[in-house]
Structure 1
Amino acid sequence: MTGRSLPEGVASERENLDWWLMLPLFAIVSLYAAGIGAVLPVLPFYLREMGASPLVFGLVLATEALSQSAASPLLGQLSDRFGRKRVLLASQAVAIVSLLLLALAQSIFTVLLARFLFGFTAGNFSAAAAYAADNSSPTTRRQAIGVVNAGLGLGAIVGAGLSSILSEISLTAPIYMALALSASGVVVTAFGLKGGKVAEQAKGEADQAKISLRAITSLPVIRVLIIVMLCHFFAYGMYTSQLPIFLADRFVWNGHALGPREFSYIIAADGVINIFVQLFLLGWLGRFFPERRLIVLIFALICTGFVSAGLASTIPVLAFAVLCISTGDALAKPTYLAALSVHVPSERQGVVMGTGQALVAVTDITSPVLAGFILGLGLYGAWIGAAVAIAVIGAAIAIIRLPR
């Protein structure tokens, strides 16, 4: 951790997080995540009705991740320059267009185009995380970003609950609900969020230009954190991208194959765990676990969950797997992003958050395709084994290379 002082006007001296300032941001992220949570349970089955294979489903997810990886650092940089609120509004507008296109899709190509556009809404998280960083001190940074992630968890619960009900009507009904939620997010952003920080005015632009991304990534600790992040999210992406396909083929839920409704229960459970971890467990663990040990704990949790999911034949075992993996992943993003954040100047928070989000998206480009290829061959054990192996590599790098 650095002892860097933040510019005057930023909430750098706060020892306690300003919850009232975070509340509108929490609502915005929750609405965005609810839209995702409403669509995600039906998307694989929506594609399957069009004749798509697991590999095609993986390609759809990879297409979304491709646009996300390109957009995240750019939108983060734009939020540094023009403010978080403007970028949030722009990305929400794109989300509305993409969801409308998805609901009206008649072919796999149209679905691909819709999800490609939706990838550009990654600016939502980048700008939201940067806003949280703007309004927190280094000591409360992880907690502030945790609030953003808690919004993701609550949104997942609401979206999955809505999806479980609306999917009984049709597979497009949850998509239209997601569109309505995105429109609500625009209203909350426009009237509930303050203008947010715009990085240095003209007098500071020259100094800001000197603080390049290359200079930031030249720090050894940043490079190690990036590699560890890539390992985590690649392993996690292999698991999550094909989980509905794996469970639909291999798991029996109360006497019948798992479908959209049952998968929405898993997403809702993930959201509940996410909220608990972000609002309660993260702060408690932060007092007893230094950064390095917390990262190792994260990898231990997801490895345990991967193996349990692969062996699951009953609902309790599957629930245990979801508990381990969801807890590990809920701890991961705020831990990694806060660790990156405290090593960079305050006026570059947006581009760093965007770059972190882009790195996650890069893994999402390849991991669904690789996992879909493996499952397409029926190699279920190899699918789980690959995810575990990559997570173990990440844990080993963290143990060896991160400072104690």
Structure 2
Amino acid sequence: MRRSALLTVCLAVFVDMLGFGIILPLLPFHTQDLGGTGIWVGALLTSYAAAQFVAAPVLGSLSDRFGRRPVLITALLGSAISLALTGVAGTLATLLLARVVAGAFGGAIAIGQAYVSDFTVGKARTQALGMIGASIGMGFVFGPAIGALLADLGFAGVSFVAAGVALANAILGYFLLPRTTPAAAGAPARRGGGNPLTALRHALGNATLRPLLLVIFAFTFAFVGMEATFALLGAERFGLDARALGLVFAGIGIMMAIVQGGLVGRLSGSFGNRKVAIAGALLLAAGLVILPFVSPWVGYPALGLLAVGQGLLTTTTSALIAEEGGAELGGAFGVSQSASALARALGPLAAGALYDVKIPLPYLLGAALALLAAALLVSRRRGGTAPATPAETGQPATAS
């Protein structure tokens, strides 16, 4: 039953990311068609991250109180609505509204992470969270590729296809997602639980969660800074055109999926999540330091270091969050997704500004942040206060 539940949740997250990724290749061009400039493209991407920053802790906390299944299905339906709204958007303001709606319902990742954590513990939990990460990565690999293939349908047509995929995902989830009740379901809401800023402040006040949230912010900021500027660096230093850049990013996504889907669970079982996370941070830092100074033949291995480091970090920090989340596991994952969303909103802006000053600067800043993440992980001590989950006690999650 647990394996079936895991595969179902992974499928739901994969298809959700697939639908989101389908429209990405065409979004900047549609923005230009509506009269938008580069700042509008940036605003559309930032609005999604900003809305996710606000909404993710709320959705996560709701899944603690009412169960993962209904909240995840609601998030999947919200994705379908946002994609349909994107398809009919005839003005920049409407398109911006669609991206805000998409971000507001973009909590499927946090809920999916909490979902699989309800069924697993220890090495099995890290492997399950790695599969969630691999599902996300593969959704972003295949989504843009499908969007490019469907480009002849026009932006509206591609958006409606993506909306149909998202709606089918929600319907499939309704029939296949297992009914579980997390430990906090039905419990009174924590004071300020509906306020994402209060939830974030509460998490930052937790001595065991705070360093993990800072680690997540730091390495995500570092990685998205590379994502935001590598197209420029790749064209200038490596002579890559748009097609080659697409292949490079697809390769990064596939490598991360391989790491998260298989390698990280084995390493975690042998060395523990914290040590593997430290190794991931060091690999990420090394790749960022090397990348802006070398030829393509050295640059591609550096990108490999980046991909492996990011894959190790993403999964193991999620597993460490699960260790400390306790009965409010959904809320903890929601706040961690907020930390990631904040980094995704700020990272590209800072990296772009630094790149204009001197090309290596965003990469060196990213490396410094990755080293900061490693230092925080080295100094971190597990609080050991998180209540046992049903999986840890050997008891199955109860039916809702």
For this structure pair, what is the TM-score category when the shorter chain's length is used for normalisation? 0.7 to 0.9
Q: 2:140 aligns with which of 139, 151, 156?
A: 156
Aligned to 1:137: 121
* 377-386 or 127-136, which deviates more: 377-386
Change over 3 Å in CA distance of 1:300–1:48 after alignment to 2: farther
Aligned to 2:22: 38
Q: 1:66 aligns with which of 47, 50, 53?
A: 50
User: If the length of structure 2 is used for normalisation, what is the TM-score?
Assistant: 0.83
User: How does 1:171-210 map onto structure 2 within 5 Å?
Assistant: 174-200=158-184, 205=187, 209=190
Deviation at 1:211, TM superposition (A): 12
1:99·1:179 contact (CA, 8 Å) conserved in 2? Answer: yes
The 3-state SS of whatever aligns with 1:140 is helix
1:87-128 CA-partner distances (Å, limit 9, x unpaired): 122212221222223334444433322221111122211211
2:118·2:182 contact (CA, 8 Å) conserved in 1? Answer: no
Aligned to 1:8: none
Q: 1:226 aligns with which of 210, 213, 216?
A: 213
1:54·1:372 contact (CA, 8 Å) conserved in 2? Answer: no
Change over 3 Å in CA distance of 1:382–1:352 after alignment to 2: same
* 65-74 or 296-305, which deviates more: 296-305
Change over 3 Å in CA distance of 1:320–1:108 after alignment to 2: farther
Distance in 1, Cα, partners of 2:159 & 2:20: 9
The 3-state SS of whatever aligns with 2:324 is coil
Aligned to 2:324: 343
Q: 1:239 aligns with which of 217, 226, 243?
A: 226
Aligned length in residues: 377
Amino acid at match of 1:396: A
Aligned to 1:396: 375
User: If the length of structure 1 is used for normalisation, what is the TM-score?
Assistant: 0.82
Amino acid at match of 2:324: H
Distance in 1, Cα, partners of 2:329 & 2:107: 13
Aligned to 1:14: none
Aligned to 2:258: 276
Change over 3 Å in CA distance of 1:369–1:48 after alignment to 2: farther
Distance in 2, Cα, partners of 1:396 & 1:247: 30
User: How does 1:3-402 map onto structure 2 within 5 Å?
Assistant: 18-47=2-31, 54-167=38-151, 170=154, 174-200=158-184, 205=187, 209=190, 217-244=204-231, 246-247=233-234, 251-253=238-240, 258-259=241-242, 261-311=243-293, 314=296, 316-345=297-326, 347-375=327-355, 377=356, 379-402=358-381
Amino acid at match of 2:317: Y
1:264-302 CA-partner distances (Å, limit 9, x unpaired): 433432332233112221112113333332222112222
The 3-state SS of whatever aligns with 1:196 is coil
Distance in 2, Cα, partners of 1:137 & 1:165: 40
Deviation at 1:74, TM superposition (A): 0.2
Identity of aligned residues (%): 25
Distance in 1, Cα, partners of 2:364 & 2:202: 37
Q: Which runs of 5+ in 1 are unaligned?
A: 1-16
1:230-284 CA-partner distances (Å, limit 9, x unpaired): 211111222223444554566533xxxx22x444433432332233112221112
